[in-house]
Structure 1
């Protein structure tokens, strides 16, 4: 994988932001890839840096997919307790009585 494709893979996995107002993480990643490489850096060091960038992109992709799966298979995770009880009762065919305020 080239440096450019590793950079694009990282940007694809970061949350989208406005170009006029980039997140500090976007700025940091851009600065890392734009920084001039020392002439003494060997090809193995460059390939190691690219491999690390690919691993970070793969980790970010896995985390994004994990959150999507968690939301899909646990839809009540962000619900309040009352709403969760009401939906559980509805699932088994019961309606909770209306509560007076």
Structure 2
């Protein structure tokens, strides 16, 4: 792979790992990346290796968040909803709560 193709590949990989911004102007970070990758002195082998490591780190972080969300589905729930779903998981329903007037809460 030529040097220019490698630079372009790493640049695109970094952009893919950034949060999507549909139909919005480029973010300041995207502009900074473009300036950095377009300058000749910043695209030496050492800085490209660091950029490749950054791409790998960002991919790992994205996968980590995906796995946390998948295997901990109750993270975004309040405590009452989490308890109700846990009871349902083992085949139980929580008792119906009543307020002082005898109406369901």
Is the structural similarity TM-score above 0.5?
yes
Higher relative contact order (CA 8 A, sep 6+): 1
TM-score range, shorter chain: 0.7 to 0.9
TM-score with structure 1 setting the length? 0.82
Q: Which moved more, 1:48-57 or 1:1-10?
A: 1-10
Quote the Cα distance in structure 2 between the aligned partners of 1:65 and 1:24.
25
Number of equivalences? 95
Quote the Cα distance in structure 1 between the aligned partners of 2:93 and 2:24.
51
Rg larger in 1 or in 2?
2
Q: Which moved more, 1:56-65 or 1:13-22?
A: 13-22
Match 1:37 to one of 29, 40, 47 = 40
Q: Which has the higher helix share?
A: 1
TM-score with structure 2 setting the length? 0.79
Q: Which moved more, 1:25-34 or 1:3-12?
A: 25-34
